[in-house]
Every structure is written in structure tokens, then in C-alpha cells.
Amino acid sequence: MKKILVVFLLYCGLGMQAQDLPVYTIFNKKAKSVNYGKMIRQLAEADVVLFGEQHDDAVVHWLQLQVIKSLHKDFPLVLGAEMFESDNQVILDEYLAGIITHKHFTTEAKIWKNYDTDYKPLLDFAKENQLPFVATNIPRRYASMVSREGLEGLNKLSAEARKWVAPLPIEVDLTRSGYAWMIETMGAHAQGDPANIARAQASKDATMAYFITRHLETGRKFVHFHGTFHSNNFQGIYDYLKAARPDLKIVTIASVNQQAISQLEEENKALADFIIATPADGPRSY
């Protein structure tokens, strides 16, 4: 972790010395560059912030921490993340409450390989500031079941197991561009029905949205972290949130890597309310 931090700080230092080499640029959905403060002011108006990431992007992970620090100055927060599965909520709560050690948490929860560098700082912030942190993702064994058997496979789950999944039946519109893209580009490699890959993705999106809505608290803003594909083009989690709660004010953030970040590439325009572009050769956490 220290090695990655040193590399990142050196990278940022170079960016600050050379004004033509920034480490990130923020764009609005009209593809105009905006400053960090403007983004924070708009995030402050949201009930839910959907922060999409490139999982290995060290710059974006640093920005995630800065965003919750900035928002927490004025608002109480609830945090949540794709990287923690819903059936690990008790373990997560016990760790944040100081009931179990960090070692027990990392041993018993299903943590990602980049947890130490990228997600532990978010948990540390929640722990230090006594903020709720919600494990929102569907357990991976159930998403895998959907990829093999379709959404109908979830009907075999016990009443206890269904507590960790969005209420059944989960509806999915496979014509939405994100799911259609998955079927077209990844379906050729699927065994069985190619559409089940998209249905598995939808089971994740629906479950994350479900646990976000379950943990909305009056006066608190919910900031959720996930792979950017889960909310790009105002789809995925966004669709399920709006279906459940049309009244919610949701602001989305997408993350993209580009060779040059002075302007958005055409394919990255309008992905979200804000698009964070970082250099393709920027620092990676793994």
C-alpha cells in the first residue's frame, strides 16, 4: 500500500508542477470541464450519489475518499459499496462497532484483492466518523447461479437466503443498452443462454439498489461505490432506484481512462452527471 501511495503522490506532484499534465479532469454530462468544487456542490443536492469507478484506478480511489470527506463536512452520510456482499453485513457492522478485530473482518468477509489499498480507507473513514456502511451486493454464489440458470434459479433459495437478494421476481429490461452490450460482446463466451450474463448483472444492480433504498435515512446522503458500468448511461442501479423511488434525487459519477484527458472522447460523453477522466498510463492499484 505504501508503495502505491508513494507512486501516486509522485504522480500528483508531477501533475501539479506541469500544468499540461493533470492527473484527472472532471467533465459534466455536456462534456464541459468543471472543477471539483462545482461537482461537490451538485453532489450536495442529491439524496443518493452513485460513484462509478475503474476498479484499479488509484486516482479515482483517492478522489472517492476526498468526496466523502468533502460531503461529510456539511452532511451526515451513509456509505455503501458493491465490494461487500449483503450476507457479510453482520461482520461489517461488528468491525465498524469495534466488536471484532480487523483481522477477523478480513478473514471472514469476502474482501476484494485491492481492499487494503482502495476500500480500507473508505471503511476507516466510516469507522472514525461512526458512519453506517452498507454491504449492498448480491452474494456471488447467487449471481453465479443466475449466470447458469437465469433469474428463475433464485426461486430455489430459502426464505433466509432471500434476505440477501432484491425481492423476487427481479425484472430486467434486456433492451437497455448496457445489458444489450453485454449479451452482444460477452454472450459468445457464455455457456447456455448468453442473456443470462446480463441477467446476472441485473441481479447485482437490483440488489444494490434494494439495499440502498432500505438504508436511506432522512437527512443523510447515501454515497455508493461500484464499478462504473453499474450506473453508466443512467442505467443499472440507477434504473432500479428510480423504479423503486421515483422521487429520489440521484447524481451519478462515471470514471474513464483516456490517452489524453483535456477533452472527453466521443464514447465517454454523457455517461453520467459527472465523468472523471484519468490518464490511461496513470497509477494503478493492481
Report pLDDT for 21. 75
Task: Flag whether 5 is in a domain.
Answer: no
Query: 170 in a domain, yes or no?
Result: yes
pLDDT average, residue stretch 31-42: 98
- Determine the average pLDDT of the residues in 140-162: 97
| pLDDT tens, residue by residue, 69-125 | 999 999 999 999 999 999 999 999 999 999 999 999 999 999 999 999 999 999 999
Amino acid 186: pLDDT: 80
Residues 255 and 273: beta-carbon distance below 8 Å: no
- Residue 11 falls within a domain, yes or no? no
- Grid coordinates belonging to 3: 508503495
How many domains would you assign to the chain? 1
15: Cβ–Cβ under 8 A, 6 or more apart, which residues?
21, 22, 23
How far is residue 286's CA from residue 283's CA, in Å, rounded to a whole number?
A: 9
- Whole-angstrom distance, CA of residue 132 vs CA of residue 75: 13
Label residues 209-245 b or e (16+ Cβ within 10 Å = b). Answer: bbbbbebeeeeebbbbbbbbbbbbbbbbbbbbbeebe
- pLDDT on residue 44: 97
Order of all β-strands in the sheet with 274-279: 33-34, 25-28, 274-279, 250-258, 48-53, 221-227, 77-85, 133-137
Gap between the Cα atoms of 121 and 123, Å rounded: 5
Note whether residue 12 is domain-resident: no
19 located within any domain: no
pLDDT at 14 over 50: no
CATH number of the domain at 206, please: 3.40.50.11550
Does 8 have pLDDT greater than 60? Answer: no
Q: Supply the range of the domain harboring residue 29.
A: 25-279
Does residue 18 lie within any of the structural domains? Answer: no
In a domain, 154, yes or no: yes
Q: Residue 16 — pLDDT band, cuts 50, 70, 90?
A: very low
pLDDT given at position 192: 76
Instruction: Write down the pTM of the prediction.
Output: 0.92
Q: Is 2 inside any structural domain?
A: no
